[in-house]
Structure 1
Amino acid sequence: MLKVTENDRLIPLVRKGSRPSYVLLPGAGGGLAYYLRMAGFLGKTGNVYGIRAAGLVAGEEPENRLSDMADSALRTLDDAGIEPSLIVGWSMGGVIGWEVCQRLAERGVQPALVLLDTSPFPFVGDAEFTDWLLGKIGGQLGPSPDEESAARLKGVLLGQLSALAENNVDRPYAGRVLLVTCAEPADAREQNLAAWRKLAPDLREHTVDVDHYSVAKPENFLALSDPLASFLAH
């Protein structure tokens, strides 16, 4: 039975009886709104859950290490009694998903994993980029967010960027992996592909003609539906 506490980070998106469990992990900002169309698609065959980032709710502290993010995501699943058969992560969420899968593999469980334009390499952004990204993600809070919500979102984002600066995926994962990459920039795409091919022996690849910040948007989901359906079917 699913156990969800009042302040749990686990968000049930689609749940209908006893079916495979699919888990969605967000990118920068830690929200799940852009996953709703994907959740509806995945919900045709499984129960779908999202795990929001720590720190978005009053009383929570944001995390600033990828290992801590993976550990807390796995604890959230364990507390709810969920053993996922599929994990989907966009950008940083894919790195967290990779780490969660590593921990599950140590238990003898190998979920299928979908990486949406995820890099295995460190990322360091300057202050100008941080301000730009905060403005872009801040739109999730609506046109006039309250100061406390905006401050919590900023704290989460700063912790995430700190974590990404130390990102270095170097442990292989033997489970099934679908890597969706964006067409541009081509040099970064090829670099990421080369690294993931070494790390994931059972890798499928698909490229979409949208940019990194648009790949998870609901209006672009049609570009993901066919590769996702094919991946789920095999």
Structure 2
Amino acid sequence: MTTTTDSSRLVPLVRKGSRPSVVLLPGAGGGLGYYLRLAGFLGKTRNVYGIRASGLVAGEGTENRVPDMADSVVKVLDNAGIEPDVVLGWSMGGVIGWETALRLAERGVKPSLVLMDSSPFNFAAGDGFADWLLDKIGAMLGPRPDEEAAARVKRVLEGQLTALSDNKVEREYAGRVLYFACAEPADARELNLAAWRQLAPDLTEHQVDVDHYSIAKPENFPALQDALASFLNT
């Protein structure tokens, strides 16, 4: 099997000469499709790259620990010679982004970090949750997805859920952080906000009136755009 740092995991979304770079890290399922509109907006001023999850291509191994995921993201960036100005992630992608930013900061690179309704707490999926989430992700693969591709997505998701169940963010990040908090579920929103305030001394908060699984939909991007532009341009 190929290593999880294979260069094919890096997906250039917008690239125009020598400019600061944004790296987008996906949530559950590991794909990047829902970031395309966001990439177009960010690409007006920056080069934009996505890093898909390992295991979505035949022959790749999956990962089931957040530290390993962050390590492999850093290696993908190193292999491409990219030092990101911004790291952005939705849901689990934000958790991986946090750990990635910590690793980059240790070598003197301190990117701005954008978290889209990510939780710093470990997460134990309830009965049937994995199947429910797989159905949501599977809908993005089209009405007749390739069986082998669907099986790979399932394996990636299973590894991600294992990683989330074992992980809790505990290390402070001193760089700039923008946190988008969804309106629902309200109890989780308040717990997450309180924790991120402790972990991020330079935190900007922005609440979005959508649920967790809607925030990344293209039609909800206008709710993020002004706050994102303000944060990145200061």
TM-score range, shorter chain: over 0.9
Normalising by the residue count of structure 1, what TM-score does the alignment of the two structures yield? 0.96
1:150 match: 150
One-letter amino acid of the counterpart of residue 107, structure 1: R
2:201 match: 201
State the alpha-carbon separation in 2 of the partners of residues 186 and 98 from structure 1: 23
SS in structure 2 of the partner of residue 61 of structure 1: coil
Q: Is the 8 A contact 1:74 1:100 kept in 2?
A: yes
Q: Is the 8 A contact 2:120 2:196 kept in 1?
A: yes
One-letter amino acid of the counterpart of residue 63, structure 1: E
Q: Is the 8 A contact 2:27 2:91 kept in 1?
A: yes
Cα distance, 1:186 vs structure 2: 1.4
One-letter amino acid of the counterpart of residue 70, structure 1: A
One-letter amino acid of the counterpart of residue 112, structure 2: A
Cα distance, 1:187 vs structure 2: 1.3
One-letter amino acid of the counterpart of residue 95, structure 1: V
One-letter amino acid of the counterpart of residue 101, structure 1: A
1:226 match: 226
1:121 match: 121
2:217 match: 217
1:135 aligns with 2:131: no
SS in structure 1 of the partner of residue 56 of structure 2: coil
Q: Is the 8 A contact 1:26 1:51 kept in 2?
A: yes
1:29 match: 29
1:17 match: 17
Normalising by the residue count of structure 2, what TM-score does the alignment of the two structures yield? 0.96
State the alpha-carbon separation in 2 of the partners of residues 70 and 217 from structure 1: 25
2:167 match: 167
One-letter amino acid of the counterpart of residue 205, structure 1: E
One-letter amino acid of the counterpart of residue 161, structure 2: L
1:180 aligns with 2:170: no
State the alpha-carbon separation in 1 of the partners of residues 43 and 155 from structure 2: 32
Cα distance, 1:139 vs structure 2: 1.3
2:84 match: 84
SS in structure 2 of the partner of residue 34 of structure 1: helix
State the alpha-carbon separation in 1 of the partners of residues 94 and 167 from structure 2: 12
2:54 match: 54
1:111 aligns with 2:116: no
Q: Is the 8 A contact 1:54 1:156 kept in 2?
A: yes
One-letter amino acid of the counterpart of residue 154, structure 1: K
One-letter amino acid of the counterpart of residue 229, structure 1: A
Identity of aligned residues (%): 73
CA offsets per residue over residues 2-56 of structure 1, 9 Å max, x none? xxx9861000000000000000000000000000000000000000000000000
2:97 match: 97
SS in structure 1 of the partner of residue 184 of structure 2: coil
Q: Is the 8 A contact 2:7 2:80 kept in 1?
A: no
Cα distance, 1:114 vs structure 2: 0.2
1:63 match: 63
Cα distance, 1:126 vs structure 2: 2.4
Number of residue pairs matched by the alignment: 230
